[in-house]
């Protein structure tokens, strides 16, 4: 049964720092991995989607990497800003391809 774990659960950094969020999954047979952002009281916004054949994806200050063999993904945020404060979730498709399996998330706080 696929399980997704995110470390750390919470992270506080000063503005301008580069940071890494970690995601691990137990079954390496994934279709793709996706990183989302969740703001308090809001829905989820998709940040990056990495297909199983890809090693990384970049969007602006965000870079996500995928190592299927070791069951790990990282989300790198460069030059963090207070507006980056949110909960970041990673998710993989279930084996049936019908739904997403989420980690519990990392809550990021960037202070100015």
Binding site for other proteins (CB under 8 A): 4, 31-32, 34, 36, 41-46, 49, 51, 89, 91, 93-94, 96-105
Please give the Cα distance from 23 to 2 (Å, whole number). 13
Task: Read off the tokens for 61.
Answer: 């200050």
Nearer to other proteins, 65 or 106 (CB): 106
Nearer to other proteins, 76 or 102 (CB): 102
Peptide bond into 8 cis (omega under 30): yes
Q: How far is the CB of 41 from other proteins (least distance, A)?
A: 8
Q: How far is the CB of 61 from other proteins (least distance, A)?
A: 21
Q: How far is the CB of 46 from other proteins (least distance, A)?
A: 6
Nearer to other proteins, 85 or 94 (CB): 94
Nearer to other proteins, 44 or 62 (CB): 44
Locus of tokens 């950094």: 13
Q: How far is the CB of 63 from other proteins (least distance, A)?
A: 18
């Amino acid at each position: 049964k696929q399980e997704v774990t995110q470390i750390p659960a919470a992270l506080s950094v000063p503005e301008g720092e580069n940071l890494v969020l970690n995601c691990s999954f137990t079954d390496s047979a994934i279709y793709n991995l996706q990183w989302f952002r969740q703001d308090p009281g809001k829905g989820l916004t998709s940040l990056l989607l990495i297909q199983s054949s890809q090693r990384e994806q970049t969007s602006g200050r965000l870079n996500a990497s995928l190592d299927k063999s070791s069951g790990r993904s990282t989300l790198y945020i460069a030059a963090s800003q207070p507006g980056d404060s949110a909960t970041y979730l990673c998710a993989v498709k279930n084996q049936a391809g019908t739904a997403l399996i989420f980690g519990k998330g990392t809550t990021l706080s960037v202070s100015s």
